[in-house]
Amino acid sequence: MIIGDRLRALREEKKFSQGDIEKRTGLLRCYISRVENGHTVPAIETLEKMARALEVPLYQLFYDGEEPPELPNLPKRKSADDIAWGSSGKDARFLVKFRRLLGRVDEGDRKLLLHMAQKMAGR
């Protein structure tokens, strides 16, 4: 599918002129014409503007059906907890050891270490 052809078909289906799209998006009519004729490829931000102007969801610029396409069976994304540093593997073992050692340090030294860490993090 060529995106320009799809944009033209949706625009004509809604009975909008290129001038109407120009007013609704702020894009120049000559740019809209270049996109529709396949002379330029619009950025995703431009496609979002055009979808709003055509009063259609963005996915309809890429899909012909009435409903969004079924998503493929993709692996689940990792949650923030899974990605967090020290949640597994070598980092987790290091963190456990660090916490154990930090628990043995007296209060004054612990405050000094935390103060130094804050100063270093601020850089």
Rounded to whole angstroms, how far apart are CA atoms 94 and 25? 54
As for how many domains the chain has, the answer is 2
Is residue 31 situated within a structural domain?
yes
Structure tokens at 115: 């103060």
The domain of 32 spans: 3-61
Both 7 and 53 in one domain: the answer is yes
pLDDT per residue as tens digits for the range 80-114:
666 777 777 888 888 889 888 888 889 899 889 88
Both 56 and 95 in one domain: the answer is no
Both 8 and 53 in one domain: the answer is yes
- What's the confidence (pLDDT) of residue 31? 96
Is residue 50 situated within a structural domain?
yes
Is residue 19 situated within a structural domain?
yes
Is residue 93 situated within a structural domain?
yes
Structure tokens at 101: 């050692």
Is residue 89 situated within a structural domain?
yes
Mean pLDDT, residues 58-66: 81
Rounded to whole angstroms, how far apart are CA atoms 16 and 32? 12
Both 49 and 16 in one domain: the answer is yes
- What's the confidence (pLDDT) of residue 1? 57
- Nearest Cα neighbor of 34 from 20, 18, 48 is 18
Both 11 and 44 in one domain: the answer is yes
Mean pLDDT, residues 66-93: 74
pLDDT per residue as tens digits for the range 4-55:
999 999 999 999 999 999 999 999 999 999 999 999 999 999 999 999 999 9
